[in-house]
Amino acid sequence: MKIFYTKEHEWVKIEGTTGTIGISVYAAEQLGDITYVEVPDVGEDLVKGETFCSVESVKAASDIYAPVSGVVTATNDELMETPEIVNESAEDEGWIVTLEITDTDREGLLTAEEYDAYLETLD
């Protein structure tokens, strides 16, 4: 399994041709208390770089972009009832979707080390 991040603060854990997507701990902290997560439907095609859902918090609403392209195979339905899971466990229990990856292009994806270095430039 490999995990990658985007400069828009999404992450994708890749195992073979399966990807699991969520938002980073940094993004969850910036948003504050998350009150709603809109998840896409199973079977929906996600296109790398395009919006696939939104997350709302007490501070703002934020679009979430697909870090890879693929077809949604599962959604984290728990987020509909308890969206605060994203605040509590953004990079684990707070995942948003899993998908069957249809494009192996990793351009623009950052390793954990590269993402941490990028975050240092934001302060």
Strand order in the sheet with 97-101: 2-5, 10-15, 18-23, 97-101, 70-75, 45-46
d(CA 99, CA 66): 10
Work out the average pLDDT over 86-113.
Answer: 95
For residue 81, report the phi and psi dihedrals to the nearest 5 degrees.
Answer: -90, -35
105 falls in which pLDDT band (50, 70, 90)?
confident
Q: Which residues of 65-80 are buried (b: 16+ CB within 10 A; e: fewer)?
A: bbbbbbebeebbeebe
pLDDT in tens, 18-34: 999 999 999 999 999 99
Domains and CATH numbers, the chain: 2-118 (2.40.50.100)
pLDDT in tens, 75-97: 999 999 999 999 999 999 999 99
pTM, to two decimals: 0.95
- Is the pLDDT assigned to residue 123 strictly greater than 80? no
